[in-house]
Amino acid sequence: MSDAASRNSSFPVSAGILFGLGLGGFFDGIVLHQVLQWHHMLTSAGYPPNSLHNLEINTFWDGVFHASTYIFVVLGLIVLWRTAHRRHMRWSGKLLAGTVLMGFGIFNLVEGIVDHHLLGIHHVNETVSRQYWIWWDLGFLIWGAAMLVGGWFLLRSGRAETVDDAAISPSRAS
């Protein structure tokens, strides 16, 4: 395997993407659902937050959503830990930052397309007039696409900066 191929395959890209998926979900759930209270999981699916019963349903599904994003983070940690135990690398910080941004962007794109546009179970900011929901939803998608592209550029840059210690000193690899 060439040095470049070894360098590119050694960093667990999937770990960073899983972290980003989880962190994207945490941001959405904590900031948009809880702090700003712009929406909950099912607010546009027949459960507006106008009664205790509807809030209980939304709170339950918000919790299920948070649990799934927690699983992404745990899986990312497992992948990163397993890879880090195999061999020592001096990874550029851009690799993790880039892949986390990519995962966060993927989260926004998938969640935005599926939940906001295809299923319509909620929209980014339901506290504004209904006619403006589409603009918030599109902004969410643009933000996700920008993170995905920015993360990809960071990943490319970080791959060039990553140093394999085994290539520098073969005796340290054992």
Instruction: Express each pLDDT in 149-170 by its tens digit.
Output: 999 999 999 988 886 554 555 5
Phi, psi of 90 (to 5 degrees): -100, 90
Structure tokens at 145: 């696409």
pLDDT band for 174, please (50, 70, 90 cuts).
Answer: very low
- Mean pLDDT, range 19-40, rounded to an integer: 95
Query: Residue 163, SS3?
Result: strand
Identify the residue whose tokens are 């504004």: 128
DSSP symbols for 52-91: HHHHHHHHHHHHHHHHHHHHHHHHHHHHHHHHHHH--EE-
Q: What is the pLDDT of residue 89?
A: 66
Please give the C-alpha separations between residue 85 and each of 73, 82, 112, 160, 173, in angstroms, as whole numbers: 18, 5, 36, 22, 12
pLDDT tens-place string over residues 83-142: 877 666 678 889 999 999 999 999 999 999 999 999 999 999 999 999 999 999 999 999
C-alpha–C-alpha distance, residues 24 and 157, integer Å: 23
Contact 70, 112 (CB under 8 A): no
Structure tokens at 95: 């690799």
Positive or negative: CA dihedral 81, 86, 92, 96: negative
C-alpha–C-alpha distance, residues 169 and 174, integer Å: 10
| DSSP H stretches of helix in 87-132 | 93-111
Mean pLDDT (the chain, rounded): 88
pLDDT tens-place string over residues 48-95: 999 999 999 999 999 999 999 999 999 999 999 888 776 666 788 899
Query: Residue 164, SS3?
Result: strand
Q: What is the pLDDT of residue 2?
A: 44
Q: What is the pTM of this model?
A: 0.83
pLDDT of residue 40 exceeding 90: yes
Contact 162, 7 (CB under 8 A): yes
- Mean pLDDT, range 31-45, rounded to an integer: 94
Report the amino acid identity of residue 172: R
User: Which residues are 28's β-sheet partners?
Assistant: none
